[in-house]
Chains A and B, each alone.
Chain A
Amino acid sequence: MNAIECENLGRSFGRLPAVQGLNLSVPEGSFFALLGPNGAGKSTLLKVLLNLLRPSTGSARVLGRQSTSLSAGDFQRIGYVADGQDLPDWMTTSQLLSFCRPLYPSWDQSLATRLAAQFDLPVDRALSKLSRGMRMKAALLSCLAYRPELMVLDEPFGGLDPLVRDDFIQGLLEIPGDDRPRTFIVSSHDIDEVERLADDVGFLAAGNLLVHEPADALRRRFRSIEIVGPSTIKPPSPPTEGWTEVKQASENVVRFVCTSFGGEEEGRIRARFPGATISIQAMTLREIFLVLARAERGKGAL
């Protein structure tokens, strides 16, 4: 069962497409990271999913319901925290929780109390007087306390300093399994931070979903490879399928990124460059994202 399913989903603002022809499914129980640069369409996609914006084309289903027919009742199962979201800033965290509590039959006050302590939230201070990180935590707490089936975090790390960011992520990681929402969707342009959290990863650039697959598979698939030959070596021409960013670093050094690294790939490379020293490096999601983004800019196929 998928928590999210999109079919040819698009959203334009006037003539400007923010999201186009997007097909996506996020299985229940996964932690899906939606990555992409600023302006890629991440927030727009999430807002369309939550019926904050209407889709221009296609459709989406969220927890089995058409996104356009999500109603107030459905938000008892969905949590949403976004950078820049309006909060009743005049309330204290405690007042915010008291206000939210009657709205959710599944509200767990003991969980709220526990998370408030874990997040180290000053519950009697007005939200307007809290730091940005603390405000995000308060908003997160007001969602986690009713154990939503789907938790959507839109750029939750925006504007947070590294310490607070780490603190926030640690907070998310430390939520006990039973208390965690079944499905998480986090959008961010800050890939390093999401790497620790994500099971599944989607790369969005200019409104197009470039890649969507499990993070581990992606990490396994991408390798940065350096070949140092005993004498002059040349990269293959035409380029081998699955190789990108092929560069002649010096006469006897060739570097490239392999996007389809597997068990047999290393053997194939060694056969192609006999006697060369081959260095194969795993890549971080950030490095993979940069490769994808550059390829998208050059419209290269991966």
Chain B
Amino acid sequence: MSTVLLIIGKDLRRLWALALLGFLFSFVSTLGWYWDLFPKSSGFLTFIFSQVSPVVVLFFLSVGIVQSDPTIGDRAFWRTRPISPGALLCAKLLTLVLVFGVPSLLLNAYLALSMDAPSRVAVGMLTESTGMLLMESLLFALLGALTRSLMQAAAASLAFVLVVATSAALIPLPFLFTPWRMDIPGHAARMAAVGLYSGLAALGLLVHLFASRRLGRTLGLGAIFLPAVLFSASRWPVSIGAEAPESASPAKAGTAADVQVLLARPAFAWSNGYMNDPASGTVVRSQAVAINAAIRSIPPGRIVQIASISSVLRFADGRQLAFERIGREFWPNWSSFAQASAVCAELGLPPPVPPSQPDKQPRLRLFSVIDQTAGAFAGRRGTLTATLKIYELQFRELARMAAAKGSKWTHRGQKWRIRDIAVSEGKVVASLQHLRATSVLLNEGPSHPDERSDQYRYAVALVNRARGEFALGYHVWDSFDAPQWSIDLTTRKADFTEFWMIGGSRAPAPTDAGWLAGAELVVLEAEPAGSYDKDVVLADFEIPQVADHAEAEPPAYWQ
């Protein structure tokens, strides 16, 4: 043990300046984001300072720690001294933990505490941030141990990146390289697994290298470990379970009767394409059949979307055509009326008056049909029954704070802060900063990395109850930064342009900051309420041919 401490002391004495720089970059960059200290105009410099510099220091420090006692070659000082390879490796690993792990633990413990993160989220944050940092430092340390100089280690790092990129091209692993894809189940747990298994592989290679001091064999093992890591990560994901839900009553979904769908006939053949013919097992020409449509909840106050459609066309002679189910991935996007209704419902405000016509009728694909089938049934009319899988969201109030610059709100691992808010040219403009504790180690729950598009998750409202007025904000995603692995930091801009009296009629936009003094800014989060099926029926339906939708049809009606 004394030998281990002796080596740690030696390395720290040699690299203390770099280690200090590492602490500074790590703490200053993270806390700079957290406390919103970086000037808004210095984007590139902030990026270099907070994102690039820590990685550069991590590289130099990890490589420096290992290369101060070279592993390869026969000229190393330690090789002819009473220092065992085990003690040396142990010292190097402990130095990495001391230099990177301990500060990261302290920093993330502070963040978790100050963000009021639930215990499981805090464990996830600490484990993920510290684990990722140690994994990176282990990889750099391994590259350092396999080489004899910083330049060689840098070249080896580039080579490593090339090898990983080539492997990725040869072994397609979408969960690793396109994690934003929504249709990849459990990608976060797989990402976590990649990190964990990479760290273990690097550790294994370091142990082998120190024990055997054989470069060739270690590289050979590495060539086996790399695909093994990627394969294992796709096979055995890692998670620490789900975050316990908040005790608030769960959102309750409506029923099929609470939803209306507007179908603007005629349906039309939209495009030619190809699809798999289940009968022959071959790919054949096909066409998509669509209809302009809208969807709403009755009464307003919930957001309903279509997740998938299964259609069947039945003919009078009893024959029927069943079409393959089509995933719609939450069609359509929210309408502003739907959002306003849902927000008002949650805040206890009277809902806005519904428009006589839906504010948009986007194209809804009903089914795809093989050209040959469409031709065979041309001119025949039947009844089309489309079963819509309805996915319902409700807004729940998340944060409420005074509508003033610097106001903030913290609860259960989320922090909202108003960076700026001002009345400007007949509208109110706000800049909001949102920090969210998260971890890829959590497999579900509010702190699980979100798969939904950000702008469909939050809504903001300004409410001045003293004046009896409110406004719903149109908010846009501005920038996303990741000062630490486990903190999502998003800056949002919100414009409030339309103001209403509580009770219904429009109100004039405020002209001075006095309006804001008595107002509150409310942040609402969309929450999945559940899903159910709704059938819509199109009688006297004929499979359209491409470009034949000019035919007159009865007017649209809500079903």
Distance in Å: Cβ of A149 to nearest Cβ of chain B: 13
The 4 closest A-B pairs by CB, nearest first: A80-B80, A72-B84, A52-B74, A72-B82
- Distance (Å) between the CB of A82 and the closest chain B CB? 7
What is the CA–CA distance of A73 and B83 in the complex, to the nearest angstrom? 8
Question: Is B452 located at the chain interface by the 8 A CB criterion?
Answer: no
Q: How far is the CA of A86 from the CA of B84 in the complex (A)?
A: 17
Interface membership of A22, Cβ < 8 A = no
User: A78: which B residues are within 8 A, CB to CB?
Assistant: 80
Among B10, B73, B74, B80, contact of A99 (Cβ-Cβ < 8 Å): B10
Which has the most chain B C-beta neighbours within 10 Å: A87, A100, A103? A103
Interface residues of A in 215-240 (CB under 8 A from B): none
Contact with B along A33-49 (1 / 0, CB 8 A): 00000000000000100
**Chain A residues numbered 71-88 whose CB sits less than 8 Å from any CB in chain B:** 71-76, 78-80, 82, 84-88
A84 touching B75 in the complex, CB below 8 Å, given contacts A72-B87, A99-B6, A102-B2: yes
Chain B CB within 8 A of A256 CB = no
Assess whether B300 is interfacial by the CB under 8 Å rule.
Answer: no
Residues of A within 8 Å of B77, CB to CB, are 85-88
| Interface status of A173 (Cβ within 8 A of chain B) | no
A103: contacting residue among B3, B13, B14, B75, CB under 8 A: B3
| CB of A94 to closest CB in B, whole Å | 13
Smallest Cβ-Cβ distance to A101: which chain B residue:
B6
Query: Which residues on the A side are within 8 Å of B2 (C-beta)?
Result: 102
Chain A residues near B76 (CB, 8 Å)? Answer: 86
B70: Cβ under 8 A from any A Cβ: yes
- Chain A: which residue is nearest B85 at the CB level? A72
Given contacts A47-B74, A102-B6, A103-B3, contact A75 B14 (CB under 8 A): no
0/1 string, B75-103, CB within 8 A of A gives 1? 11101111110010000000000000000
B308 lies within 8 A of chain A by Cβ = no
Does A249 interact with chain B (Cβ within 8 Å)?
no
Q: B284: shortest Cβ distance to chain A, in Å? A: 61
Q: Is A273 an interface residue (CB 8 A)?
A: no
A75 to B73, CA, bound (A): 18
- How far, in angstroms, from A214 to B73 measured CA to CA in the complex? 34
Q: Scoring A residues 89 to 117 as 1 if CB is less than 8 Å from chain B, else 0, what string do you get?
A: 01000010001101110000000000000
Residue contact A71 to B70, C-beta cutoff 8 Å? no
Q: A103 with B84: in contact, given A53-B74, A88-B10, A90-B14 (CB under 8 Å)?
A: no
> Which partner residue on chain B sits nearest A72 by CB separation?
B84
Verify A86–B6 contact, CB threshold 8 A. no
Give per-residue flags for B163-178: 1 if the beta carbon is below 8 A from chain A beta carbons, else 0.
0000000000000000
Given contacts A88-B68, A90-B14, contact A76 B82 (CB under 8 A): yes
- 8 A-B contacts (beta carbon < 8 Å): A52-B74, A52-B79, A72-B83, A75-B80, A75-B81, A85-B77, A90-B14, A103-B81
For B6, give the chain A residue with the smallest CB separation: A102
Interface of B toward A, CB cutoff 8 Å? 2-3, 6, 10, 13-14, 68, 70, 73-77, 79-84, 87
> A86 touching B81 by the CB < 8 A rule?
no
User: From residue A19, how far is it (CB to closest CB) to chain B in Å?
Assistant: 14
Q: Which chain A residues lie closer than 8 Å to B10 at the CB level?
A: 88, 99
Q: In the complex, which residues of chain A have a beta carbon less than 8 angstroms from the beta carbon of B73? A: 86
Instruction: Give CA–CA (A50, B76) in the complex, Å.
Output: 13
- The residues of A that contact B14 with a CB separation of less than 8 Å are 88, 90
Report if A71-B84 is in contact (Cβ < 8 Å); known contacts: A84-B75, A86-B76: yes
Query: CB-CB < 8 A to A102: which residues of B?
Result: 2-3, 6
Contacts A79-B80, A103-B83 given; 18 further ones with Cβ under 8 A? A47-B74, A52-B74, A53-B74, A72-B81, A72-B83, A72-B87, A74-B82, A75-B83, A85-B75, A85-B77, A86-B73, A86-B76, A87-B77, A88-B14, A90-B14, A102-B2, A102-B3, A103-B82
| CB-defined contacts of B80 to chain A, threshold 8 Å | 50, 52, 75, 78-80, 85
Q: B residues within 8 A CB of A53?
A: 74
* A100 in contact with B81 (CB, 8 Å): yes
CB-nearest residue of chain B to A90: B14
Q: Mark A131-152, 1 if CB is under 8 A from B, else 0.
A: 0000000000000000000000
Interface hub of B80, B83, B84 (most chain A Cβ within 10 A):
B80
Contacts of B83 on A, CB cut-off 8 Å?
72, 75, 103
Closest B residue to A78 by CB, please name it. B80
Which chain A residue lies CB-closest to B14?
A: A90
Contact B74 A104 (CB under 8 A): no
Known: A72-B87, A85-B77, A90-B14. A104 touches B70 (CB 8 A): no
Tell me the smallest distance from the CB of B78 to a CB of chain A, in Å.
Answer: 9
With the chains together, A52 CA to B14 CA distance in Å? 26
C-alpha gap A71/B14 in the complex (Å):
27
A204: shortest Cβ distance to chain B, in Å?
18
**Distance, CA A132 to CA B200, complexed state (A):** 42
